[in-house]
Amino acid sequence: MVYLPFLVMVVALLLGVPIAFSLATAGIVGILLLGGDVNVVLRILGTTPFGVTAEYVLTTIPMFILMAYFSASGGLAIATVFACGIFGAMSGASLAAAAVMSSIAMPEMRRHGYSDELAAGSIGIGATLDILIPPSVGMVIYGISTQTSIGKLLIAGVIPGIIVAIFLTAAILVWVRVRPAHAPETYVVPAKERWASLGRIWSSLLLIVLVVALLYTGVATPTEVGALGAFLAGLIGFVFGRLTWAGALEALRQTIKTSALIFMILIGATVFGYYMAMSKIPQQVVAVVTEMNLNRWLVIIGIVVTYFVVSMFMDELPLLLLTLQLTFPLITSLGFDPVWFGVMSMLMVAMGLVFPPVGMIAFVVSSSGNVSLMKVYTGTSILMIALVLTTALLMVFPQIALWLPNTMK
């Protein structure tokens, strides 16, 4: 009976019930099954919405999202493959980054002679960079859920994110070398022209560098960085004439909509969390794994595979809120660093979002970029080697993720 709420949640999700209400419903059923009366449920429902959303640290989320929408409306995301990475790093959610960049970059890459497979794969994998590189809403959610330093989590994703980008570049070069038909013939661009082209994206680069620098030096908190980033993104758009009042209002509307969605998921996850606490399922899982005396790396591999599979069917935010209540107590009991596991979780989620047979980003790229789903899968499956290699490196050398946050002031 104690696991019946999980079945209720799965059935609700299959019926198309929003994840927030699926979590809340499963939590309520669980609490009632454990002997809680209706008054207990009503008290939880009466206090949870305000108690969850009133946390000051949560203001980081709408600020980061507003920064992303101001950037998109202001034209900071230029229609190039490089811009896909930039916007991915500035976006609040990978699906939003994929949708925006598919509609912008896909037509341009086609016009220049890139195959649909290479173009869609680059956009799909590039959109996952937002999960690692600050500002990352996924990292913020992880930090809030596990009481881990958000500043350290955001900084921890910088080097792995850069490594993913390097591996992605190498994978594309190898692909084009082996199958030249997937890319147009190129010519050497003079250095002067290369530097001149940076003039179109310097503001995006400056904003990202500023966000990372402020977080790393400890000059500002993540919440303050988010607010400043949103303000500067809007200011840059207005100064350069790229952001209109209509665009700004639309950005605010989308920010409110997205933030409300995230907050509703947080509320639903908190209700479900009450059931998890009452049932003591996390403690039971830790006890069972401890009694089995398994090698801790075997356990982490099992968790990694589970994240990878489940993320094919669910976006990163509800996935994290649902699974961390079980996985986080387990990994901390095994002595793994919470910051390191945060980065590993993001990489697993990123792979699941682009891998067949589901992969939600693949669906978004297919619909927004008007390209066959099979071609999207072909591209993302080949280029996903960048995420796989980065994950392997982090497992062998955890300091890749931990060195930079450990040097923070």
Concatenating the DSSP letter of every residue in 38-62 gives HHHHHHHHHHHHHHHHT-GGGGHHH
Give, in degrees to the nearest 5, the angle at Cα 206 between 203 and 208. 110
- Tokens linked to 182: 């997937």
Residues 12 and 22: beta-carbon distance below 8 Å: yes
Collapsing DSSP to helix, strand or coil, 157 comes out as coil
DSSP letter for each residue of 258-280: HHHHHHHHHHHHHHHHHHHHHHT
Q: Give residues with Cβ within 8 angstroms of 356, minimum separation 6.
A: 362, 377, 381
Short-list 211, 229, 240, CA closest to 75: 240
- Interatomic CA distance for residues 68 and 53, integer angstroms: 21
Residue showing tokens 């609490």: 31
Number of Cα atoms under 13 Å in the Cβ half of residue 176: 17
Q: In the 8-state DSSP scheme, what is residue 189?
A: P
Residues 70 and 240: beta-carbon distance below 8 Å: no
pLDDT tens string, the chain, 409 residues long: the values are 667 888 888 888 788 888 889 889 999 999 998 877 788 888 888 998 988 888 887 888 888 778 777 766 554 433 334 444 455 444 445 666 677 677 777 887 788 788 888 888 888 888 787 788 777 778 888 998 898 998 899 899 989 988 998 898 899 889 988 888 887 766 555 767 666 665 556 676 777 788 888 888 888 888 888 888 888 888 888 887 778 888 888 888 888 887 888 888 889 888 988 888 888 887 887 788 778 888 888 888 888 888 877 777 776 777 788 788 888 988 988 889 999 999 998 888 888 888 776 677 888 888 877 888 888 888 888 888 999 999 999 999 999 999 999 988 6
- Interatomic CA distance for residues 209 and 173, integer angstroms: 26
* Confidence at residue 186, expressed as pLDDT on a 0 to 100 scale: 62
- Interatomic CA distance for residues 358 and 333, integer angstroms: 32
CA distances from 84 to 49, 88, 204, 365 (A): 35, 6, 11, 12
* Confidence at residue 25, expressed as pLDDT on a 0 to 100 scale: 92
Whether the upstream peptide bond of residue 398 has omega within 30° of 0, thus cis, is: no
* Confidence at residue 128, expressed as pLDDT on a 0 to 100 scale: 81
Short-list 201, 114, 153, CA closest to 402: 153
Cα of first residue to Cα of last residue in the chain, in angstroms, is 49
CA distances from 15 to 6, 8, 9, 12, 270 (A): 14, 11, 10, 5, 22
- Global pTM reads 0.78
Q: 218 — alpha (psi -120 to 50), left (phi > 0) or beta?
A: left
Residues 359 and 315: beta-carbon distance below 8 Å: no
